[in-house]
Amino acid sequence: MVKENRAKLLWLCKKRYMRQDVIDDRYGRLFHLPVELSANFDVSAICIDYRSHGRPLEVCIDGVRFVSVFLGQFAFGALALVFFFRKLLLREKYHVVVSSSDCLQVLLGCYLAKRFDAKFIVDLYDNYESFGLAKLPFVRRYYRKALKQADLVVAVSGTLKKFVVGNFNKKCIVVESTIQEGMFARVAPGALSEKIREIGDVVVGVGGGLDAGHDINTLFAAMKSITADHKNIHFVFAGKASAELLACCDSNIHAIGPLKHAQMPEFFCALDLTVVGLADNDFGRFAFPQKAYEILACETPVVVADVGALAELFVDYPNLRYRPGDSESLAECILMQLVQREVVGLNVPTWQQKGLVLADHIAACLVE
């Protein structure tokens, strides 16, 4: 129900994010931030589905009107999208437009904000210039122009904020991604735990992105070195396995495939140690892996890459940080942490706390 005298906020993002569906799975930043903002604003979230198949959807969840727009095959999907937003411009009036998830969403939000004469806010959960869409002709140029025109830029990490302030826009704040309250914690062993513990006496695990951006080649080299000398140590990977990972699998290296998000707490709790890797590049330096908070909430010992926001978060734990790209450094950290089993006691913020911070800054924008 729309409340009187509340500003209307339009949230723009893609529908699929981090291999999850924003609406169906009620997942992550792109779901929880608009939900938290609905305590202060009348929020509509338009989630664009880039896939060539799907279904349109409109549903109200926790006070937010979520609308899924199906892009479909490019020519007809793009035309349908034009007509959808043309109707939106004719029938609605928004005071704030927030764009998140990639360069194209930012360009769309910049255009709509001008047409609505609304405040334009860009939410950067990553450095979108590192995404494939930024390679399309003219996209990077106009994306940077949109960043400069924004009334506020919201960065996921302190390192990304420094980059934005130094190059595009001084009106920038940090709102980190976090985790759903109550979902990640120590959990009782189940079938997944039994499967993992059957692998071996000591199990080191990695879940999620198994790619170069997550420094996976450094981990491959480190685990080969470790398992050559320590036959009791096993490595298990949960996620989409590359051909290279499958080629590495042997009696000490195991790939169990992708897990559902709801299974991740049990996965982390079953491990003796987990690794959060990031490469020292434009992705790793600016990203904030919420996986770190998931692991901390599960009280599982961890080793992390000494780069970007991870280095800032674990600044007081130098012995848990390895040098990205240095397999010897990673192997040393893993072996040391398997002896120490140090559990990091950092505070894990809630989405409600993050939403309040963002809501306060948006309110300030509206009175400027």
Domains contained in the chain, CATH given:
8-178+350-366 (3.40.50.2000), 191-340 (3.40.50.2000)
Identify the CA nearest to 120 among candidates 91, 146, 156, 84: 146
What would the pLDDT profile of 249-293 be if each residue is shown by its tens digit? 888 999 999 999 899 999 999 999 999 999 999 889 998 889 999
Query: How far is residue 185's CA from residue 2's CA, in Å, rounded to a whole number?
Result: 36
How many C-beta atoms lie closer than 10 Å to residue 8's C-beta? 17
Structure tokens belonging to residue 365: 């924008």
CB 312 within 8 A of CB 285: no
pLDDT for the residue 53 = 65
What would the pLDDT profile of 290-319 be if each residue is shown by its tens digit? 999 999 999 999 999 999 999 999 999 999
Query: How far is residue 300's CA from residue 320's CA, in Å, rounded to a whole number?
Result: 13
Query: How far is residue 266's CA from residue 192's CA, in Å, rounded to a whole number?
Result: 7
What does each C-alpha distance from 32 to 39, 114, 179, 340 come to in angstroms?
12, 26, 9, 36
What would the pLDDT profile of 167-182 be if each residue is shown by its tens digit? 999 999 999 999 988 8
Q: Which runs of E-coded beta strand occur in 188-263?
A: 202-207, 233-238, 253-255
Please state the pTM of the whole predicted model: 0.90
Q: Which runs of E-coded beta strand occur in 219-305?
A: 233-238, 253-255, 273-276, 302-305
Q: ∠ CA(239), CA(245), CA(250), 5° rounding? A: 110
64: β partners = 61
Q: ∠ CA(135), CA(136), CA(142), 5° rounding? A: 95
